[in-house]
Chain A
Amino acid sequence: MNAAALVLTDLQVDFDVPGGRVSAVDRVTLSVRPGEVVGLVGESGCGKSTLANAVMGLLPQQAHVSGSVAVEGEEILGATDHRLRELRGNRIAMIFQDPSTSLDPTCSVGSQVAETILAHRDIGKRQARERAIELMSEVGIPDARSRFSDPPHRFSGGMRQRIVIAAALANDPTVLIADEPTTALDVTIQAQVLSLITRLSKNHGTAVLLISHDLGVIAQVAHQVGVMYAGQLVEQAPVDQLFASPQHPYTRALLAALPSAHLQPGRLAVIPGQVPDLVGDLPGCRFLDRCAVSRSECIRRPVPVDVNSTRVSCWDVADRISNPTVAR
């Protein structure tokens, strides 16, 4: 078994806001192996983007971070700015949701890809340019050589996202974080870009952390899935298992709420209530107020248990495992 390329251990990110302290990421433990795609799924406010920023060392100064984020064994949290700059775009890369803001509208696309190369490799400008053109072709930009000098606005959204991917993968990073990379794209273009990401990561052996609110995207592309709710990682499982036998009440509710889950029209299952305000005192399990099977223990933080290869944080599940004879 190859050692994990990215390991998060008990990652905790808190912010101070006017009302108090917001616990945006609550002790998340997760790892991604080389060549593996780990999907991180959750709705808005679940902390997935904060987590991504923590891995990139992009959190604001005021964030209180604890725990560990290790890339190939090297600790990211607390690393010097200098070291972070060396790592970003080089060993760790990130692609964001909106391709129109990820690219500088005043520079040519080719130069932006070349820039990433030049920042981390000691090669000449001409060589970097050639490499950039190569990368642009690899991601499917037709006529890459002549389009090198075109500015971003001459490209469609899908094309721009491909360029962003080219720049991200330019230096063959160990870890790629893709934060909602296809959310802003049309469905048919999304399919193209997702297929591109999976192909490239397979060929280069990149460890990919794919963040999405779209369970469909996750199902199609991920090997392992982590489900986040209000800052907590509630369930983690191989993709087949997560969809076939979801353990956590939130995961189940989420899957039941999908329109495509139903082949005939009917009421979609609804999760009562809404995502809790993350400021102030929260119960140990943050899904407590909306959970159909909540119990008194749930005010304490659940200890993760394993059900086959699923790791789930839920007292109800834990109870079921230790008392298998109790009828449900």
Chain B
Amino acid sequence: MSPLLEIENITKTFAVPSGIFGRQRVSAVDGVSLEIEAGEVLGLVGESGSGKTTLARCVLGLTPINGGAIRFDGVDVSGLRRSGLREFRRRVQPVFQDPFASLDPRWTVGRSIREALDSYRIGSPLDRDKRVLELLDRVGLSDQYAGRLPRQLSGGQRQRVGIAAALAGGPELIVADEPVSALDVSVQAQVLNLVADLQRDLGVAVLFVAHDLSVVEHISQRVAVMYLGRIVEIGAAGEVFTAPQHPYSQALVEAIPYPDPARRSTHVPLSGEIPSPVNPPDGCRFNPRCPITIDICRSLRPTLELTSELHLAACHVNAPSS
């Protein structure tokens, strides 16, 4: 069965003004290929400049790509017009990071959830009101929330409303960009449980973008790690977390402050700064900071190679192409 979402070698460059007349090219996403199966949660992890947010926006169609192709349910998205595009939008829904900016402050919660139902003309108006209450219930909020305004809700509640609004159209894929980053730990737990439930009960696939590996690892089946616009590693969540193959993923995992003082990290933290995507290094983009770099790393871009079943890494040293 073909995957629900296929991203094939996409690139996205931004032109950024530089100096008085110059323009610089920022390579935000550089040749990324990815697949998401129906009902799967794929975690996408990376730090600043990794391109993960840009990638998410490309999938949603909010940012046009410069190269490559995105196929949803077998159909190339760039070829879609009008009704096809609308259908695509309904089936791929966003959940945003900032709970304070994800809901129209002047719309009641009920109206925000109903937006997709109204626009896509799903059911009769009476059905829609019922559906809003159903959705509220599914995200764990009682009926009375339908008439409230966002400012009367906490961050966690707003995020749940955002999820309900995303579910309204009956999507098959939810693209969540850092949905829990702005929430307290205890509230984060509620939202993560919710996402897991939704995946289980509704079979909806999720592209879960985050910078927090432990959050991603908890909720995803597979995890992809991005660095400076490229995927450096992808594999089963537990595996990437416990046995990372790429030196960057290793550094990322080691850098996570583990809430157990008995397991204090003795590793030397990864040195250097995250380079700007304006002038990325040649070859493997991680090479300036990499502890195990060899000559070829500076000139040739590594490809994703299998390190074990279903686990790939792009590293000349750890996963050389034969």
- Residues in A lying within 8 Å of B, measured CB to CB: 43-44, 156-159, 186-192, 194-195, 213-222, 239-240, 243-244, 253-255, 257-262, 264-265, 267-271, 274
Contact = CB atoms under 8 A, between A and B. Distances in A.
Nearest to A43: B184
Contacts of B192: 259, 268
Contacts of A213: 184-185
A220 B217 CA distance: 20
B184 A216 contact: no
B269 interface: yes
Contacts of A186: 47-48, 211, 274
Given A188-B252, A260-B214, A220 B258 contact: yes
B318 interface: no
Interface string B184-215: 11111110110010000000000000011111
A259 B189 contact: yes
Contacts, number: 124
Contacts of A214: 257
Contacts of B190: 270
A274 B269 contact: no
Given A186-B211, A188-B251, A192-B270, A257 B185 contact: yes
A150 to B, nearest CB: 14
A171 B321 CA distance: 54
Contacts of A244: 262
A258 B273 contact: no
Given A219-B259, A243-B259, A259 B264 contact: no
Contact of A240 (B185, B217, B261): B261
A210 to B, nearest CB: 12
A219 B269 contact: no
Nearest to A255: B259
A262 B257 contact: no
Given A187-B252, A240-B261, A259-B214, A192 B269 contact: yes
Interface in B223-275: 238, 251-252, 254-262, 264-265, 269-271, 273-274
A64 to B, nearest CB: 27
Nearest to B180: A259
27 contacts: A157-B48, A186-B274, A187-B47, A187-B213, A189-B47, A191-B255, A191-B265, A191-B270, A213-B184, A215-B185, A219-B259, A219-B260, A220-B264, A220-B265, A240-B261, A254-B186, A257-B186, A258-B214, A259-B214, A259-B219, A260-B214, A261-B259, A262-B218, A267-B193, A268-B192, A270-B193, A274-B154
Given A156-B273, A215-B259, 12 more contacts: A186-B274, A188-B47, A189-B273, A216-B256, A219-B258, A220-B261, A253-B186, A259-B188, A259-B214, A260-B218, A270-B186, A271-B186
